[in-house]
Structure 1
């Protein structure tokens, strides 16, 4: 990629935003040297790495990169025998800790069942140097101070140092506490000059203390004197300090040699952590711009859904759909200045550079970007006074360079092609340049003023006109890209709104050719038709969503109503049964009393009369109609088959089975409505003859075999889902379907990724894409079969 193109498309500004998200100077350096990749496989890996980093941040919130510092120079200096400072060694220990911490962090995620690909491979290459880290941290604290226990010699020296200092202070404090000190000292304190303990003595009492004068105050009234009585003690103190310094240097030299031994491992770890920091920086930037991972193809096809320029304010930027490389390979955007043509051009170019750098793009999921070996752009007025070049000349210099480099794997962006010269010659030159680039197979997007180029889009196969919408009422552009509709100047309408006399406008219209007026009217009609179609589509989508919501709500209400009804029936039956049971007990007691009376009083009551009375009593118990659930339990289990007529008990409606969606669930057609119903809520009614024949015959599944156009995997376990996809694709191919949909939902993305990988390598799959917004978005994958 040419540096001029990266500058023109403002890729450097994107890097300025990205660099803020790097945790270390190493990551920032990776951002500074970032350039887009041009190999398809490399771009795919870069996008996967960013997506994986985003997954880690989503699940864990952050990555443990604390302590990571760029210690390359320090390590290299130790390698050639240099002695490192204590702070440098602390930074190396921090980097070793960051390496160990990151390796453990990734390993814990993998052991926890989180599916990762790229980070475990990098973590595996990290070499743990815990012994070296421990040696440094045992000798030096976080502030860079060498600790007493770094060596036995240093511990002894420090003890001598503290003892000698204590003796010096005691001697001086006794001098401060003397009765004459108040008069002779400027202040009753002990201070230090030239690393020696001294007292602040007034000038006139200098001879009272003797010793050495090390300093004096700015006024000269106070002298800082080392009294003669502590000169020897201070000398001893200096000797001990020299020993301390020599021992510290010895320890630092020893640690530096240890670092030199493992210098290659430390540098390798540093490189891996820099790469991880860079990947997490790209992930954090994706979160900031609400980016999504684009599908990457090697077929020079671009599909951008609601793409937003990442450098424009989020509350002002207008999202646009851009498609290139399928039905047309060249887009020609016409219309007046300040309409947003250049923004649309830069958005497409910048998205390409971002995608090929492993950055996610601010667009809806399912957007697709191609990999180009080169992006060429001629954008903006690059007039150079120093080079004595006009606007036209500067454009032509760029265009000549582009024509010398362009090939079929190039994306070419022309802004105001042919501008800066005679309109007739400029238009002819623009057409010729477009033909040249088009014939080489490149993907081209160009903007222009010239009305002659509007016809170019209609006369060339693979070329389409586009424009940026302009609101006549507000006299301002809406920045919405309209593909398929050429632009118009709107000069008459704008002049009329600004108050230009109607007679002048009509006179101007009469001076235009009939063809021009007719084309202008046609363009206006096209704009209105497209707006109306878009508005109606949005209304239809809104109505569809509302109907779907009402359908679910009604379904839930019916299920709740039927459940309440069955519960009331069961409660009533239980109450009645309890009452009857109570009456039976009371009647039994009466019969026992009668039998007792007959025996005791020899009453003339026959036994068979008592039995008949009991039977009549039992016959008086009401027979309740059992609830549907109870009836279903008593039914003989009937095997269901697609096509069977069944009764949906919860709705009390009849329908036909379409397919079995899971072990205990069927899709049922009730009138025009399809729904999923649990098998326990179905009651077998009848079976058509053709279904019986299919069951009886062992036939190969073919085009007559009923296979749904959708496979719903939501709620399925990962392994079961992939097995179902395999079987479903085979059935769909046998059924002769050209296209099917697999519903995997969004969730954590693991199931979606697994399905995508399976489809990518399946022998029967021709192409895949995520669903449109009306089809379920990224929760659905649409599959074209061979």
Structure 2
């Protein structure tokens, strides 16, 4: 890309904006040299690096470049053996420290958000902590060589401070002397030529020995170094000379250390310059609200709402254009100041920016091409010095373009063929455009010639476009209309301005019939376009309304689901509370049973059992589940004596003793209870229970008794049973023991693996009738037996 083209498309202004965002002079130097590349791979790599910097800028607000300075000159002078001053050494240390911080920052970002190119680039930064530490140990933040830089410097400066103190003390004695005070202009100590002096009146100069170093402007005051401190000042000068020598020795030593690593330092500067340049591109993209374009080398270009970056965002009209797909040449017509030239410059400038690795101010999914060259003939380049007319100037430029262009070039021509006779100019313009089109270039040209409209309409691969003009307001809208040629608005404008209708009609009659047909065709096309655009806006409005309704429906559905979930949660909590209340009621009923058994000391009356049963039934919460189909109970055979049954209202299993009409007497552990036949369920098919009843006919018991004379044991042997079976037996055993008024019982579970023992003891912890338990002692069975204390 030649400099003339870059200046024509105002690329230098983009460079100036980019340089404004650099953080260091290193990055500014790189930004100043930015140029477009014609290599697709190189452009993609540049854009990827910019995209990574843009991601860091978005996530972290930019990268830290504090402390980094351009120390290239200092490093090169140190390499040649020169001595660096403290400020230069301090800048080198700050640059090393800043590079280390930047590297660690980018590595930290890379761990959370991959930025491979920036991570690789920052990974090349070399750390030199020993050099940093040496400079920091010798020079403070004010670029002053510290006393601790070397033992000799510390000793010399200590002597200097002592000598200065002694001189001041001697001179202050003289100032306090009454005989000396009248000779002094002022009672103060000052310094002249690095030597301590006192101000003496002119008339008393002979009364002081020593040396005169200066006098006031009026000559009334002489600054005299008294003879008493001359030797002391001489010693002070010697110490200061030694101090200078020692400081120079320290600086030379540090400069030599810089020279040893000068290659790494210069390489670091180059890397830091590139990183600063990349983050400047990211900051420029943020400022422009630019996006990452897709790139190709097929000659295809598609801008979606592209904006000229040098026009204020508030006033610029976005550009939508496509080139290189159905057509390779675009002929734009329209009135002056309608935006044709801005359109050309926008296409060219955005292409240059993308080829330079910069984001472009367009919407997402815009696509640009990497051209081998971009050529432009834009603006009036008439030169009085060269005696060239406007036409000659344009033709000279176009001839140069025709000589250098290739099929992979982009050609931008503004007002092609202008500046000469319209007939010859239009014919020449058509010939030039045809030659460029046959070459295969991508071309965008603007013109006023109506003949070019017909050329674009008839030629394959060439398409008309125009800049929209609002006749009602007599002003351009700056919108590009692809596929619609520009129409002459002279008659319409004249009519709007008030020109007599007869004159306008006469003028229309002077236009030949073919031109009138073309104008009518263009007017019809424009009318159809406006109608289609209005319908498109209406469709977009309908779609927006539909989307709004859909979103409202989704919100309502989400609200309904949330309410349903809340209701379900509330119902579950209420059910849980009901179950908890039922459990507490059941526990209270069982406690009442046990209390009555202990208090009665005799059989419990039937009406009391019925009342307790009713209370148990009322304690069960009724939970209705919607949508759950009712289960059809299986038809079971009639209950017979000896069958094993379950009483749901009590939650207990037992055996049928006898049947009396609709009531059944059921053996529940040691209790016998009369329940309704509808309140029992067969366990299994009941056959084993029937057979058992035949072999062992049940005893007829009419009530529940508590007596120690019954066969109630104080121990339970569970060996050979699993945990589930054992829990059932333990529950039954504990109920019998409590009713028998036992205070201590024994559960034999054996030693084994300890699983059965652990399961039984877990159950005992939850049992309301157990006061405590322990393993058996010696003689009681040891760990194979659990001794249970009952309440």
**TM-score (norm. length: structure 1):** 0.74
Give the structure 1 partner of residue 501 of structure 2. 502
Supply the distance in 1 between the matched residues of 2:173 and 2:264 (Cα, whole angstroms).
58
Give the structure 2 partner of residue 313 of structure 1. 312
- Contact (CA 8 Å) 1:573, 1:624: kept in 2 or not? no
Give the structure 1 partner of residue 284 of structure 2. 285
Matches within 5 A, 1:381-780: 381-561=380-560, 564=563, 625-627=624-626
CA change 1:570–1:623 in 2 (3 A) is: farther
- Secondary structure of the residue aligned to 2:252 is helix
CA change 1:206–1:605 in 2 (3 A) is: closer
Supply the distance in 1 between the matched residues of 2:503 and 2:401 (Cα, whole angstroms).
44
1:53 equivalent to 2:79? Answer no
- Bigger drift between 383-392 and 510-519 goes to 510-519
Deviation, 1:220, is 2.2
- Contact (CA 8 Å) 1:570, 1:627: kept in 2 or not? no
- Contact (CA 8 Å) 1:414, 1:447: kept in 2 or not? yes
CA change 1:189–1:501 in 2 (3 A) is: farther
- Bigger drift between 456-465 and 196-205 goes to 196-205
Supply the distance in 1 between the matched residues of 2:416 and 2:29 (Cα, whole angstroms).
37
Supply the distance in 2 between the matched residues of 1:610 and 1:191 (Cα, whole angstroms).
120
- Bigger drift between 144-153 and 395-404 goes to 144-153
Supply the distance in 1 between the matched residues of 2:138 and 2:539 (Cα, whole angstroms).
73
- The Cα offsets for residues 567-603 of structure 1, whole Å up to 9 and x where unpaired, read as 6588679879959979x989999x99xx99xx99999
Give the structure 2 partner of residue 221 of structure 1. 220
Give the structure 1 partner of residue 713 of structure 2. none
Supply the distance in 1 between the matched residues of 2:101 and 2:604 (Cα, whole angstroms).
100
Supply the distance in 2 between the matched residues of 1:528 and 1:209 (Cα, whole angstroms).
109
Supply the distance in 2 between the matched residues of 1:569 and 1:280 (Cα, whole angstroms).
54
Give the structure 1 partner of residue 644 of structure 2. none
CA change 1:150–1:422 in 2 (3 A) is: same
CA change 1:156–1:452 in 2 (3 A) is: same
- The Cα offsets for residues 358-389 of structure 1, whole Å up to 9 and x where unpaired, read as 10001111111110010100011111111111
CA change 1:476–1:198 in 2 (3 A) is: farther
- Secondary structure of the residue aligned to 2:191 is strand
CA change 1:610–1:232 in 2 (3 A) is: closer
Supply the distance in 1 between the matched residues of 2:629 and 2:9 (Cα, whole angstroms).
72
- Secondary structure of the residue aligned to 1:184 is coil
- Contact (CA 8 Å) 1:83, 1:252: kept in 2 or not? yes
Give the structure 2 partner of residue 376 of structure 1. 375
- Contact (CA 8 Å) 1:158, 1:244: kept in 2 or not? yes
Deviation, 1:479, is 1.1
Deviation, 1:29, is 0.5
Deviation, 1:46, is 0.3
Supply the distance in 2 between the matched residues of 1:59 and 1:566 (Cα, whole angstroms).
37
4+ long deviations beyond 4 Å? 565-582, 584-589, 599-607, 613-625
- Contact (CA 8 Å) 1:206, 1:223: kept in 2 or not? yes
CA change 1:154–1:474 in 2 (3 A) is: same
Give the structure 2 partner of residue 114 of structure 1. 113
Supply the distance in 1 between the matched residues of 2:246 and 2:602 (Cα, whole angstroms).
125
- Contact (CA 8 Å) 1:381, 1:391: kept in 2 or not? yes
Give the structure 2 partner of residue 265 of structure 1. 264
- Contact (CA 8 Å) 1:566, 1:627: kept in 2 or not? no
Supply the distance in 2 between the matched residues of 1:620 and 1:148 (Cα, whole angstroms).
92
Which sections of structure 2, spanning at least 5 residues, go unmatched?
631-791
- Contact (CA 8 Å) 2:354, 2:368: kept in 1 or not? yes
Deviation, 1:345, is 0.5
Give the structure 2 partner of residue 346 of structure 1. 345
Supply the distance in 2 between the matched residues of 1:533 and 1:346 (Cα, whole angstroms).
29
Supply the distance in 2 between the matched residues of 1:600 and 1:38 (Cα, whole angstroms).
110
Deviation, 1:467, is 1.1
1:366 equivalent to 2:400? Answer no
Matches within 5 A, 1:148-227: 148-180=147-179, 182-227=181-226
- Contact (CA 8 Å) 1:181, 1:188: kept in 2 or not? no
Give the structure 2 partner of residue 3 of structure 1. 3
CA change 1:575–1:99 in 2 (3 A) is: closer
1:325 equivalent to 2:338? Answer no
CA change 1:489–1:606 in 2 (3 A) is: same
- The Cα offsets for residues 189-236 of structure 1, whole Å up to 9 and x where unpaired, read as 222222222222222222233322222222222222222222221111
- The Cα offsets for residues 699-732 of structure 1, whole Å up to 9 and x where unpaired, read as xxxxxxxxxxxxxxxxxxxxxxxxxxxxxxxxxx
Deviation, 1:100, is 1.4
Supply the distance in 2 between the matched residues of 1:382 and 1:143 (Cα, whole angstroms).
56
Deviation, 1:267, is 0.4
CA change 1:176–1:502 in 2 (3 A) is: farther
Which sections of structure 1, spanning at least 5 residues, go unmatched?
633-786
Supply the distance in 2 between the matched residues of 1:260 and 1:621 (Cα, whole angstroms).
93
Deviation, 1:257, is 1.2
- The Cα offsets for residues 391-434 of structure 1, whole Å up to 9 and x where unpaired, read as 11111111011001101110110011111111111111111111
- Bigger drift between 330-339 and 524-533 goes to 524-533
Supply the distance in 2 between the matched residues of 1:147 and 1:567 (Cα, whole angstroms).
73
- Contact (CA 8 Å) 2:582, 2:619: kept in 1 or not? no
**TM-score (norm. length: structure 2):** 0.73
Give the structure 2 partner of residue 745 of structure 1. none
CA change 1:631–1:445 in 2 (3 A) is: farther
Supply the distance in 2 between the matched residues of 1:605 and 1:64 (Cα, whole angstroms).
91
Question: What value does the CA root-mean-square deviation take over the aligned residues?
Answer: 3.3
> For the pair shown, which has the larger CA radius of gyration, 1 or 2?
2
Supply the distance in 2 between the matched residues of 1:575 and 1:231 (Cα, whole angstroms).
104
Matches within 5 A, 1:15-34: 15-34=15-34
- Secondary structure of the residue aligned to 2:332 is strand
- Bigger drift between 69-78 and 444-453 goes to 69-78
Give the structure 2 partner of residue 97 of structure 1. 97
Deviation, 1:563, is 5.3
Give the structure 2 partner of residue 666 of structure 1. none
- Contact (CA 8 Å) 2:589, 2:615: kept in 1 or not? no
Supply the distance in 1 between the matched residues of 2:108 and 2:308 (Cα, whole angstroms).
38
Supply the distance in 1 between the matched residues of 2:114 and 2:574 (Cα, whole angstroms).
57
- Contact (CA 8 Å) 2:412, 2:443: kept in 1 or not? yes
- Contact (CA 8 Å) 1:5, 1:377: kept in 2 or not? yes
- Secondary structure of the residue aligned to 2:197 is strand
Supply the distance in 2 between the matched residues of 1:588 and 1:82 (Cα, whole angstroms).
104
CA change 1:154–1:542 in 2 (3 A) is: farther
CA change 1:184–1:550 in 2 (3 A) is: farther
Supply the distance in 2 between the matched residues of 1:631 and 1:146 (Cα, whole angstroms).
93
